[in-house]
């Protein structure tokens, strides 16, 4: 610290203008040395007060002691040197302050840096059941191509579940759908738990004339012992389109569109002739096996194909039950197995997982 600034210039014997630069250079050197030694905010405050303090800082002293008392001929030179010195000190002090702050921040950051491998505060969110997600996805696909959604009862009459679908009591197809019956009060007509969503075909056509274009999501029941691929309750989405100019081509276009949307463009599909009492021609709709991509594996029983669902053109015999003229109207119907589609899509190997609702299972479908 240069104590000379506490005195006037005169005793310094520096009245000659030639001496001034030397004096100021020396002060500046003092400052630079002190500034360089500053290590923290407190030292910086001391530096700032010593040099720029209003009352007794060096700059204030020079102004008071040197400038004010300077002889006329020196005033201008002292003023210029003082201004230069003040500018230098202010600038360096600001620079040092910035450096110190940044260093402090840096130090704090490295101390407080968040461990990114730690979990954040998790607000528990619920997951949607994979079956419901599958229902929604299928419904969205069919809505986008003009199918309306309808629902129907699970407790049905044999008429809607069988007879009106061209499955009379004597038909061997009844044996392929083991049925749960409901205990009914004496004298009441028999009731059963529907074995498929197809009764809604009949219920819908009874109520309205074509054009009909519906899907029917719902639960169905078969009296089968449960195992990894069977459940006595499972889920279907029925589809039905009837109109004057519906053909097999519309059917094919519709379910191929569905498969492309649901499984993605890489999946190949095929229609294979089959038999159902309420469709004719009847088909099974197969997709290339997602596990082996068609090469043959255990999942697809070495065939390269996975059976997805049954479908076909509505059997004209069904129209007789709903008073549609089979010469005028033509249509198609399909019954998607939602559980099966979800199992294939997510690679789920046991249908029972859907109904156990273990949280560890549910959380896998955010």
Partner 1 sequence: MKILFEWLKDFVDIPVTPQELRSRLAMTGTAIDAIEQTAAGTMLDTEVTINRPDCMGHLGVAREVAAIFRTPLRPPNVDFRETSEPTSKAAQVSIECPDLCGRYTARIIRGVKVGPSPDWLRKRLEAIGQNSINNVVDATNYVLMELGQPLHAFDYDRIAEHHIVIRRAKAGEKMRTLDGIDRTLGNSMCMIADASHSVAIGGVMGGQESEISSSSRNVLLESAWFDPVSVRRTSKALGLRTEASIRFERGCDAEMAEFASRRCAQLIRQLAGGEILAGVIDIYPGRRERARIPVSQREIVRVMGASVPDSEIEAILSALGFVPRRTAGSANSDASAWECTQPSWRADVTREIDLVEEVARHYGLDKFPARLPAAREPAARLPHAAARERLKERLSALGYHEIVTIPFVEPVRDDIFRDPGVQPVSIANPLSEDAGILRTSGIPNMTATLEWNINRGQKNVRLFEIGAAYRWNGAETVEESVLTIGATGMAREKSVADSPREFNFADLKGDLDQIGELAGGFDWTAGAPSWLHAARSGTLALSGEFSAEKGIAGQLSREAADKLKLRQEVFLAEFPLAPFYAAFDAARVGRRFMPISKFPAVERDFSLLLKDGVTFAQVRDAIEELAIAEVISIEAVDLFRGGQVPTGKHSLLVRVTFQSMDATLTESQLAGFASRIIDTLSSRLAAELRAA
When the beta carbons of 42 and 356 are compared against partner 1, the nearer one is 356
Residue from 73, 124, 265, 347 binding partner 1 (CB under 8 A): 124
Structure tokens at 190: 């028999």
197 binds partner 1 (CB under 8 A): no
Closest by CA position to 134, among listed 356, 349, 336, 287? 336
Query: Residue 309 in contact with residue 276, Cβ under 8 Å?
Result: no
The count of C-alpha atoms lying within 13 angstroms of the C-alpha of 48, restricted to the half-sphere facing its C-beta, is: 13
Closest by CA position to 336, among listed 185, 147, 66, 81? 147
When the beta carbons of 64 and 137 are compared against partner 1, the nearer one is 137
When the beta carbons of 68 and 208 are compared against partner 1, the nearer one is 208
Query: Residue 59 in contact with residue 79, Cβ under 8 Å?
Result: no
When the beta carbons of 196 and 213 are compared against partner 1, the nearer one is 213
Size of site (CB under 8 A) for partner 1? 88
228 binds partner 1 (CB under 8 A): no
The count of C-alpha atoms lying within 13 angstroms of the C-alpha of 345, restricted to the half-sphere facing its C-beta, is: 21
Positions in 38-97 near partner 1 (CB under 8 A): none
Rounded to a whole number of angstroms, the minimum distance from the CB of residue 87 to partner 1 is 47
The burial class, CB within 10 Å (0-12 / 13-18 / 19+), for 265 is exposed
231 binds partner 1 (CB under 8 A): yes
Positions in 204-223 near partner 1 (CB under 8 A): 211, 213, 223
Positions in 271-330 near partner 1 (CB under 8 A): 271-275, 280-284, 301-303, 313, 315-316, 330
Positions in 2-21 near partner 1 (CB under 8 A): none
Residue from 49, 99, 151, 350 binding partner 1 (CB under 8 A): 151
Positions in 160-179 near partner 1 (CB under 8 A): 170, 172-173, 175-176
When the beta carbons of 5 and 204 are compared against partner 1, the nearer one is 204
Residue from 30, 137, 256, 293 binding partner 1 (CB under 8 A): 256
* CA–CA separation, 308 and 27 (whole Å): 92
Query: Residue 354 in contact with residue 317, Cβ under 8 Å?
Result: no
Structure tokens at 283: 């088909």
Structure tokens at 302: 């070495």
Rounded to a whole number of angstroms, the minimum distance from the CB of residue 170 to partner 1 is 4
The burial class, CB within 10 Å (0-12 / 13-18 / 19+), for 154 is middle
Rounded to a whole number of angstroms, the minimum distance from the CB of residue 290 to partner 1 is 19
* CA–CA separation, 18 and 336 (whole Å): 104
Rounded to a whole number of angstroms, the minimum distance from the CB of residue 266 to partner 1 is 18
When the beta carbons of 79 and 211 are compared against partner 1, the nearer one is 211
* CA–CA separation, 222 and 260 (whole Å): 30
């Amino acid at each position: 610290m240069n104590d000379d600034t506490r005195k006037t210039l005169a005793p310094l014997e520096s009245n000659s203008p030639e001496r001034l630069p030397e004096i100021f250079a020396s002060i500046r050197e003092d400052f630079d040395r002190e500034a360089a030694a500053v290590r923290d905010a407190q030292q910086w405050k001391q530096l700032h007060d010593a040099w720029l303090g209003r009352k007794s800082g060096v700059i204030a002293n020079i102004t008071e002691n040197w400038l004010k008392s300077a002889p006329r001929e020196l005033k201008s030179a002292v003023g210029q040197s003082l201004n230069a010195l003040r500018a230098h000190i202010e600038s360096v002090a600001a620079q040092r302050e910035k450096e110190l702050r940044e260093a402090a921040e840096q130090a704090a950051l490295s101390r407080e840096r968040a461990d990114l491998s730690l979990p954040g505060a998790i607000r528990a969110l619920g997951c949607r059941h994979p079956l419901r997600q599958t229902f929604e996805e299928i419904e969205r696909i069919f809505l986008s191509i003009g199918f309306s959604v309808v629902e129907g009862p699970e407790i049905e009459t044999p008429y809607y579940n069988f007879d009106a679908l061209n499955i009379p009591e004597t038909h061997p197809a009844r044996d392929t759908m083991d049925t749960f019956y409901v205990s009914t009060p004496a004298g009441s007509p028999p009731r059963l738990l529907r074995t498929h969503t197809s009764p809604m075909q009949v219920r819908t056509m009874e109520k309205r004339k074509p054009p009909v274009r519906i899907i029917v999501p719902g639960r169905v029941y078969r009296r089968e012992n449960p195992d990894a691929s069977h459940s006595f309750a499972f889920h279907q989405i029925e589809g039905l389109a009837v109109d004057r100019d519906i053909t097999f081509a519309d059917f094919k276009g519709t379910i191929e569109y569905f498969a492309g949307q649901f499984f993605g463009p890489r999946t190949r599909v095929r229609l294979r002739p089959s038999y159902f009492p309420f469709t004719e021609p009847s088909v099974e709709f197969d997709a290339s096996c997602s596990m082996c991509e068609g090469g043959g594996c255990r999942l697809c029983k070495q065939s390269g194909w996975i059976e997805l669902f049954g479908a076909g053109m509505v059997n004209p015999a069904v129209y007789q039950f709903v008073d549609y003229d089979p010469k005028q109207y033509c249509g198609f119907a399909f019954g998607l197995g939602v559980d099966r589609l979800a199992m294939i899509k997510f690679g789920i190997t046991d249908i029972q997982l859907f109904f156990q609702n273990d949280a560890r299972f549910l959380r896998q479908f955010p």
